[in-house]
Amino acid sequence: MTATNRTASSNPEDYTQPYCDFMTENPTIFHAVSTVASSLRAAGYQPLSERDTWSLVQGGKYYVERNGSALIAFAVGEAFEPGNGAAVIAGHIDALTARLKPVPRLEVKAGYEQLAVAPYAGALNSTWWDRDLGIGGKVLVREGGKVVSKLVKLGWPIARVPTLAPHFGAPSQGPFNQETQMVPIIGLDNSDVNGASTIKTESYQGQYGGERSFVNTQPDRLVKAIAKELGITDYSTIVNWELELFDIQPAQVGGIDKEFIFAGRIDDKLCSWAAVQALLNSTSSSSSSSAASSAPSSILKVVGLFDDEEIGSQLRQGAKGNFLPSVLQRITDSFAHGLEPTSSLLSQTYANSFLVSSDVIHAVNPNFLNVYLSNHSPRLNTGLVVSADSNGHMTTDSVSTALMQRVAEKCGQRLQVFQIRNDSRSGGTVGPMLSSAMGMRAIDAGIPQLSMHSVRATTGSLDPGLGVLIFQGFLDHYESVDLEFREV
């Protein structure tokens, strides 16, 4: 289930620990995408660059990254022809976090070194207080005249947002100001009372150093820690970075009979991970399920993992960008062999395709049954949840629901359903923006979880595996199921 363990399984329990390992080892979006890419390469997928010309072949397996935070993987059927359809699973792999500001260095206050951070989406909410927070992300380093990207994560808690004890009365109850009262502490500097600084100021002079160098805008000791982790001796070669805070506690199985998984960033590295494992299983020659039909596949099998969903998907690595349409266009062009116009073939591909927009959905919370509809209350460890919304926040309709139900029947899986109460507010997914841009039939269907948008959430211990099996069933059976739905 990882880059070193790729044995497909039809037992949901076999996916529990690999998912937990993935969550613990990949706390930032950059780490998660990098590990997904490694798993794809280990399974024979070839990396592509958007900067280069693509030479694709029938039966080929490929992936392409954008910004190191979004990835699209696809397998070309042995009998694929331009205009044929695609079975697409798309979701987001970003999660709520707090990111370092461009200049995060702050003045020492009452002996505390603090770090200027900004919330990404709904992070820095009350669940982030008094948590052990690590730091990691992407660092740009100049090496031999070129700028390269390196990943870093410091292996111990660096930061903490301390609460005010309730003894202080009203000030401890909030509301709190995120700019002034939720600033993490990262160290101590009591030189104002000790009479001598305990902090050694480093010199960052070098080929690209000087007063205006990037590292001179960052906290001295953080620069030193990041450089040490990456083996960098000339700090001035650090050009820039994108670093974030994350809950450092590992993902783990819990519950009296180990029915749960407790982890940070479940939304939405859960559906993303399950979709990738499903694609690897479906396109593996050793997978029994991939041999569901003896005939060679004539479709594309696609998984898209997007960034920035939690903040509206507006950036180039988000689902509202051109990433997925561009990839499908280039696939069409590669196989058009001079056929004109390729835009018509691409429109035909869209019409023959189906999109599963996979995002986590609210599992029923036993302490708040009043906020759920009794017949729209998803259970953990039961199956994928189809999400509906009459106001178009979800892309589910009768045709897509019936098609997905047929897939579930073929692979022996169960579907649940969720719709928000009329007096509650619905969230959104990548489904409507992708399906409206391309005209694909689509459904919103995700894995259930508790404590959405908390720094630490809960899903069922079987749910990662159940997600893998239903997504794999979709990739394996879509081609045959689509034949039943050509008239609707």
Bridge-partner residues for 135, per DSSP?
245
DSSP 287: -
Per the DSSP assignment, residues forming a β-bridge with 70 are 66
Contact 91, 279 (CB under 8 A): no
Query: Where are the strands (E) in 144-237, listed by range?
Result: 146-153, 185-188
**Structural tokens at position 372:** 């759920």
* 444: Cβ contacts below 8 Å, ≥ 6 apart: 357, 359, 386, 387, 388, 389, 394, 395, 396, 429, 431
Q: Report how far residue 97's alpha carbon sits from residue 40's, in angstroms, rounded to the nearest whole number.
A: 26
DSSP code at position 480: H
Q: Which pLDDT belongs to residue 427?
A: 83
Residue 8: predicted pLDDT: 85
Which pLDDT belongs to residue 342?
Answer: 84
Share of the chain above pLDDT 70, in %: 93
The pTM assigned to this predicted structure is: 0.94
Cα–Cα dist 97/119, whole Å: 6
Q: pLDDT band for position 338 (50/70/90)? A: confident
- By CB atoms closer than 10 A (0-12, 13-18, 19+), residue 15 is buried
Give the span between the Cα atoms of 136 and 98, in whole angstroms: 11
Mean pLDDT of 296-304: 97
pLDDT at 3: 44
Would you state the pLDDT for residue 286? 58
Phi, psi of 71 (to 5 degrees): -150, 140
Average pLDDT over residues 66-78: 97
450, two tokens: 């508790």
The Cα 157–Cα 468 span in angstroms is 32
d(CA 463, CA 1): 15
Exposure pattern of 340-355 as b/e (b: 16+ CB <10 Å)? eebeebbeebbebbbb
By CB atoms closer than 10 A (0-12, 13-18, 19+), residue 420 is: buried
pLDDT at 288: 43
Question: Cα–Cα distances in Å, from 147 out to 100, 230, 308?
Answer: 21, 15, 24
Angle at the Cα of 157 from the Cα atoms of 152 and 158, rounded to 5 degrees: 75
Cβ atoms of residues 283 and 89 within 8 Å: no
Write out pLDDT tens, residues 110-133: 999 999 999 999 999 999 999 999
For residue range 204-241, what is the model confidence (pLDDT) as tens digits?
Answer: 444 445 667 899 999 999 999 999 999 999 999 999 99
Determine contact, residues 317/62, Cβ cutoff 8 Å. Answer: no
What pLDDT sits at residue 64?
98
Helices assigned H by DSSP within 140-240: 191-194, 220-230
Residue 60: is its pLDDT beyond 70? yes
Least confident residue range of 6-20, 107-121, 157-171, 261-275: 6-20
Q: What is the CA radius of gyration of the chain?
A: 24
Q: For the domain bounded by 97-247, which CATH number is listed?
A: 2.30.250.10
Lowest mean pLDDT among 15-24, 51-60, 282-291: 282-291
- 244-256: average pLDDT: 97
Q: Quote the pLDDT of residue 203.
A: 47
Take residue 272 and report the two structure tokens written for it: 């993303």
Residue 212: what pLDDT?
Answer: 74
Cis peptide, bond prior to residue 268, ω within 30 of zero: yes
* Pair 94, 309: CB distance under 8 Å: yes
C-beta separation of 105 from 129 below 8 A: no
Cβ proximity of 238 and 132 under 8 Å: no
pLDDT in tens, 366-395: 999 999 999 999 999 999 999 999 998 999
* Torsion, CA 256, CA 259, CA 264, CA 269, rounded to 10: 170
* Structure-token match 């694609």, residue found: 279
Average pLDDT, integer, range 293-299: 85
Q: What is the mean pLDDT of the segment spanning 297-316?
A: 95
**Using an 8 Å Cβ cutoff, are 137 and 152 in contact?**
yes
Average pLDDT, the chain: 92
Separation of alpha carbons 94 and 194, rounded Å: 44
The 10 Å Cβ neighbour count of residue 227 is 21
DSSP code of residue 2: B
Fold of 12-95+264-484: Aminopeptidase (3.40.630)
Q: Do 63 and 283 contact (CB within 8 A), yes or no?
A: no
Burial of 368 per CB tally in 10 Å (0-12, 13-18, 19+): exposed
Q: What confidence score (pLDDT) does residue 295 get?
A: 86
Q: pLDDT value at position 417?
A: 96
Confidence of residue 272 (pLDDT cuts 50, 70, 90): very high
Give the pLDDT mean for 155-167. Answer: 95
Backbone angles phi, psi at 383, to 5 degrees: 155, 170
DSSP characters over 55-76: ---TT-EEEEEETTTEEEEEEE
Numbered ranges of CATH 2.30.250.10 in the chain: 97-247
